Every structure is written in structure tokens, then in C-alpha cells.
A and B are shown apart, each in its own frame.
Chain A
Amino acid sequence: MFEAEVLSGGFSNPAQDSARAFRACLDAMARPGRIQQIAGAVPPAPLSPAAGAILLTLADATTPIFIAKSHDTEAVRRWIAFHCSAPVVAASDADFAIGTWDALQPVSQFAIGTAEYPDRSATLIVECEDISAPTATLSGPGIETTQTAYLPNLDAFVANSAQFPLGFDCYFTAGNQLSALPRSTKVEAL
């Protein structure tokens, strides 16, 4: 049973499924706060299908991953090892980090890039219960006027956007849904 769970749940049609999943990631990152549907992955709990699809689409042997306490189970580790071949590392060395918002604290431990290479920064995949109820107002690139969105916290993202062009970027996932918050977005209370 355990082996079957680890070996299954990948994209059934890798090239096409990852292309569709990437477009959801691209649309999410290009339009902060807007909820996108993403499908194709069936990872072991507590990993959500959306988070699993993001990892299948973007992570591989060249992208170290940090797995926070909330998601650090044997099944999740083995699933990521089999499907992504990504090394599991400490938070400060990670390209991708996966976990609930509380488990990812403190977010200051993640790479925010350097002045010359701000792209060398972490992408956090924040697992949420539900991302449909807005808690914040967003503005900035990708948003015509303003956009309301669910954020698990406010101050941390205000501080993150103040570091622009440095900073980390976030995906928020729940079930088959995802939204994104790049460092370029300005965040205000609703």
C-alpha cells in the first residue's frame, strides 16, 4: 500500500499536464491574488493536490526543497524523492519550501536573493485550509486597480514587499486551487 502511494499520483501525461499546470502557475504569478485551478497530481496527505502539481511542474534535482514540520512525513519525502528527485535541505538553502504558514516561520530564514541576482530567492508553497475568503487588498504589477485576496498574514508580506527587488515569492494552495503573491505586490489590510 505504502509503495503504491509513493509511486503513484504523478502526472498521467507528464508533458501536457505539466504544461497546463505551469500555465496556472504563470497566470497566478502574473495576476497576484487571483485564484487559479490546477490539477493532475494526487500526492499523499497532507500535501494538497495543488501543491503537488506545483512541485511536479517546477521542482527537480536542481532545486533543493525545504519541507516544514507540518508536511515532513515519510510518505511526502518519498513521494517528492521519487517524482521530483529534489534534495531535501535546510530552509536557508532551499529554492522551494513547502508547509503551512505557521510551520514555515520564521520566513526570514529563506533566501531573498542578492542585489545583483534577486532571482536567487526562495519560492514558498504555503498550504492553506481555504484561500477563497479575502483578507487583504493587493495592488501593483499584474493588478489593474486593486485585488482582494486571502493572505495568512499581513505584516510579513508588507515587510517582504518593502525589500523589493529582493524578497521571496509565495504560492497559496488549498485543494485544487492556488493563488500567488510575488514580492512586487503591495499589501494592505482589507
Chain B
Amino acid sequence: MTDQAYNFAYLDEATKRMIRRALLKGLAIPGYQVPFASREMPMPYGWGTGGVQVTAACLTPEDTLKVIDQGADDTTNAVSIRKFFERTAQVQTSETTAEATVIQTRHRIPEVALTEGQILVYQVPIPEPLRFLEPRESETRRMHALEEYGLMHVKLYEDIARHGAIATSYAYPVKVEGRYVMDPSPIPKFDNPKLGGNAAIQLFGAGREQRIYALPPYTDVVSLDFEDHPFDPSKADHACDLCGSEVSYLDEVITDDKGSRIFVCSDTSYCTTRQDEGHTGRLSPEGEAA
């Protein structure tokens, strides 16, 4: 079913031009947050209004769209956004990472390495990495202008003083091309190494906060750390109970009120592909493979 009453990809052309100009300036200044006039979307803030606007501005009729929410293709948020663009842009959709040309993501980077033809669109709640350290936008903007990032290192140091290690486990701050400190959106720090040197174009949209930023392919992205406390992209120390993967990021699922739990891949497309290829985990129906 199509909705002829709406323009292609929902947004009007003037809005798309405004978003497109912001995206291009974002690519020209990697890691810098470009203000844009975010629109009301037919979904509440926090459900990916920024990502949806960026996706709408990028989609062409030839694209194949994949949408993931914390790695999963089949959660409410992901299914709703996929249906939204099926109706308003008549694009193909897919759950397979390799088939997609545009991937909108909430809080994960797919396990499978992305390629040159792909665009990864992040939904971002708080784009300003310094926001919880300095609430005033006028001040954080000046801090970025002056490259004054000492406060962020103090925060990481306080983590070490209090917990013995850097306790930040998601939305872990990165420095882009040695210049801008950037919030990678609330991806687990396990995904941080995939931000740099990625073959795909990475675009970030924050709807409520009205900011767009971007990483061109093969950009130099470094997770902030200290020489004696180097960055550690940690994950749960288990294998996936369904596909046996020991390298993927895992969700811990509580299965009853006696403390039983299982670990499964957060990237559902990766996990199902592996299961289809015959990989098995601890709970696979075939038996005790792992």
C-alpha cells in the first residue's frame, strides 16, 4: 500500500534540502555537530526521529533499507520504521546486513563488516558528549571551538579513581581525526573499534536535540583513554547460546526468577545467518554442541 498524499520519503523537499546541506557540512567537518531544523515526525522523540529524518533525506527508490534496534530487526521500533519507509518511500527492505544499502540503527553497529556502498544512520539521543559535564550549550560549543576537552579526561579519571577502571560502557567518547570529541550514540563500547576505518558512510541524527554529524569512510576515530588504562572494548565472557559465536556482542536474557540466564547475539541477522549455516550453541535443539 502506498500513500500518495505524502511526498516521496515523507518529508517535503525543502526540509530534505535543509537536512542534506547539514549532512554535507557534517561530512566536511567529521565529528562536528551541525545544527539543523529538526521536524516533528509521526513518532515520539526517543524513537529515532533524528535517524528517520536523515534516512528520509538519503533514501532513493533503488535503496534497500534495514532497520535495527539494539541489533534486532524484529523489535517494535525497527519494524515500525521499516514499515514507515515501505509505505512512504516504496523502498525494498531487508533484514540481512549485506543486502542493505541504507541501515538505520539504534545503539549497535552490525557484526558483519560494512562495505563501500552502504550508509549507516544512527539514532542519537544526546549528541553532545560534554552535556552531562557542562549543561550550557553556549559553553560546550566554546569548548569544542577551543578544543578544550580536559573535562572529559577528568571524568574518565574519576571513573578510574572510583572503580579502578573506566566504567563507561556505552556512549564511550571518541576523538575524530585528532580534533572533535564525539558521542558515538549509545552503542556499547564493544562497537567503538568499528567506528574508525569503516568503509561505509556513517551519519548521526539527533531529532530532539536538532543536531546532525557524520563520519566519512576510513575516518580516524580513537576512543579516549589513558596510557596506563588503555581502552578495552569488552563484552560478556560467553559464547552465544544459539549460534556459538565467541566474537559477537551478547545480550544477557533472564529466563526465570531463580537467576537462570542465557546469552544470545544482540545482532539477530548475524545470529540467524550463523544458525542457518549450521553453527550451534549450548541451547541449540540439535544437542550439546558447545
Which among B13, B28, B141, B142 is the interface contact of A29 at CB below 8 angstroms?
B28
**Contact A118-B13, Cβ < 8 Å, known A22-B20, A25-B20, A62-B18:** no
Proximity bits, B1-41, A CB within 8 Å = 1, else 0: 00000011100011011101111111111101011000000
Residue A123 at the chain B interface, CB threshold 8 Å:
yes
Query: Which chain A residues border B58 with CB–CB below 8 Å?
Result: 19, 22-23, 26
Give how many A-B residue pairs fall within 8 Å (CB-CB).
Answer: 116
A18 touches B220 (CB 8 A): no
- Nearest CB of chain B from residue A120's CB, rounded to whole Å: 9
Q: Which residues of A contact B214 (CB under 8 A)?
A: 30
Contact of B13 among A18, A26, A116 (CB under 8 A): A18
Query: For B59, what are the chain A residues with a Cβ–Cβ distance below 8 Å?
Result: 19
For residues 44 through 74 of chain B, which have their beta carbon under 8 Å from a beta carbon of chain A?
57-62
- Looking at A44-52, A68-76, A129-137, A141-149, the stretch in contact with chain B turns out to be A141-149
For B61, the chain A residues whose CB sits under 8 A away are 16, 19
Least CB separation from A60: chain B residue: B17
Chain B interface secondary structure, helix, strand, loop or mixed? mixed
B24 touches A29 (CB 8 A): yes
Q: Interface readout for B207-242 with A: 1 if CB under 8 Å, 0 if not? A: 000000011111110000000000000000000000
Asked whether any CB of chain A lies closer than 8 Å to the CB of B279, the reply is no
1/0 per residue, CB under 8 A from B, across A22-55: the answer is 1101110111000000000000000000000000
CA distance A116 to B142 in the complex (A): 6
A33 to B233 alpha-carbon distance, docked (Å): 34
Give chain B nearest CB distance to A124 CB in angstroms.
Answer: 12
Are B9 and A116 in contact, with the CB atoms below 8 A? no
Interchain CB contact under 8 A, B145 and A116? yes
Q: How far is the CA of A56 from the CA of B100 in the complex (A)?
A: 28
Secondary structure type dominating chain A contacts: loop
Q: Shortest distance in angstroms between B119's beta carbon and chain A's nearest beta carbon?
A: 8
Q: B176-231: which have CB < 8 Å to A?
A: 177, 179-180, 199, 201, 214-220
Residue numbers in B under 8 Å from A183 (CB-CB)? 28-29
Determine whether the beta carbon of A58 is less than 8 Å from that of B24: yes
| Alpha-carbon distance A58/B14, docked complex (angstroms) | 9
Q: A15-B13, A30-B201, A116-B144 given as contacts; is B21 within 8 A of A63 (CB)?
A: yes
Contact between B27 and A182, CB atoms less than 8 A apart? yes
Asked whether, in the complex, the Cβ of B217 is within 8 Å of the Cβ of A142, the reply is yes
Residues of A with C-beta under 8 A to B14: 60
Instruction: Give 9 A-B contacts (CB < 8 Å), ordered by A residue.
Output: A22-B58, A27-B201, A29-B27, A30-B216, A60-B14, A116-B145, A119-B26, A144-B199, A182-B28
Supply 16 further A-B pairs (C-beta < 8 A) apart from A19-B58, A58-B20. A14-B13, A29-B24, A29-B27, A30-B27, A30-B214, A30-B216, A31-B217, A57-B17, A58-B24, A119-B26, A119-B32, A141-B219, A143-B218, A169-B24, A183-B28, A184-B28
